Amino acid sequence: MNSDNERTTSQATLLVVDDVAENLDVLAANLRELYQIKIAQNGESAVKLAAKHQPDLILMDVEMPVMDGFEACRRIQAHSETAGIPVIFVTALGSVRDEKTGFAVGGVDYITKPISPPILRARVKTHLELREARRHIQSLLTQTLSGAVSVMTEVLGMASPVALGRAARMRQLIREMSKKIDRSDKWQFDLAAMLSQLGCVSMSPSVLKKIHYGVRDGVEDQAHYDAYPELSAKLVARIPRLEEVARMIETQLHPPSAPFHDDVNTRPAVVLGAQLLHLATSYDTLQLCGANIRNIIHHFAADQQHHDPALVTLLIDAVSENKSESHKLFDDLRVGARL
pLDDT the model gives residue 16: 96
* CATH number (domain holding residue 76): 3.40.50.2300
- 277 and 237 in a common domain: yes
- 233 and 123 in a common domain: no
Cα gap 63→16, rounded to integer Å: 14
Q: Which residues contact 256 (CB under 8 A, 6 or more apart)?
A: 271, 274, 275
- 60 and 24 in a common domain: yes
Burial code (b: 16+ CB inside 10 Å, e: under 16) for 109-133 equals: bbbeeebeeeebbebbbebbeebbe
Q: Within 13 Å and on the Cβ side, how many CA atoms surround 334?
A: 1
- 108 and 213 in a common domain: no
* CATH number (domain holding residue 184): 1.10.3210.10
Would you say residue 150 lies in a domain?
no
CA dihedral over 16, 20, 21, 25, signed as positive or negative:
negative
User: Residue 243 sits in which domain range?
Assistant: 160-328
In the chain, the DSSP E strands lie at: 13-17, 36-40, 57-60, 87-91, 109-112
Would you say residue 152 lies in a domain?
no
Would you say residue 151 lies in a domain?
no
- 172 and 83 in a common domain: no
Cα gap 201→161, rounded to integer Å: 9
3-state secondary structure of 75: helix
- 95 and 191 in a common domain: no
Would you say residue 180 lies in a domain?
yes
Q: Which residues contact 333 (CB under 8 A, 6 or more apart)?
A: 339
Mean pLDDT of each 10-residue bin along the chain, 339 residues long: 44 93 93 93 94 94 93 91 92 88 92 91 93 75 67 80 90 91 87 90 81 73 84 86 91 79 85 94 90 86 83 88 50 50
pLDDT the model gives residue 280: 94
Domain boundary among 118, 133, 148: 133
Would you say residue 58 lies in a domain?
yes
- 319 and 231 in a common domain: yes
Total domains in the chain come to 2
Would you say residue 109 lies in a domain?
yes
Q: What is the DSSP string of 251-278?
A: TSSS---S---S-TTTS-HHHHHHHHHH
For helices 269-288 and 187-195, angle between their N-to-C axes, nearest 10 degrees: 50
Question: In the chain, what is the straight-line distance between the N-terminal and C-terminal CA atoms, in Å?
Answer: 52
For the CA atoms of 122, 128, 132, 133, the dihedral, rounded to the nearest 10 degrees, stands at 40
Q: Of 205, 202, 242, 244, whose CA–CA distance to 226 is shortest?
A: 202
- 223 and 82 in a common domain: no
Cα gap 51→37, rounded to integer Å: 15
- 180 and 81 in a common domain: no
The pTM (predicted TM-score) of the whole model is 0.58
Q: Of 166, 162, 61, whose CA–CA distance to 111 is shortest?
A: 61
- 28 and 175 in a common domain: no
Q: Of 178, 185, 182, whose CA–CA distance to 276 is shortest?
A: 178
Cα gap 24→110, rounded to integer Å: 17
Q: Sheet harboring 13-17: ordered strands across?
A: 36-40, 13-17, 57-60, 87-91, 109-112
Q: How many residues does the chain have?
A: 339
- 230 and 167 in a common domain: yes
Cα gap 36→26, rounded to integer Å: 15
- 308 and 242 in a common domain: yes
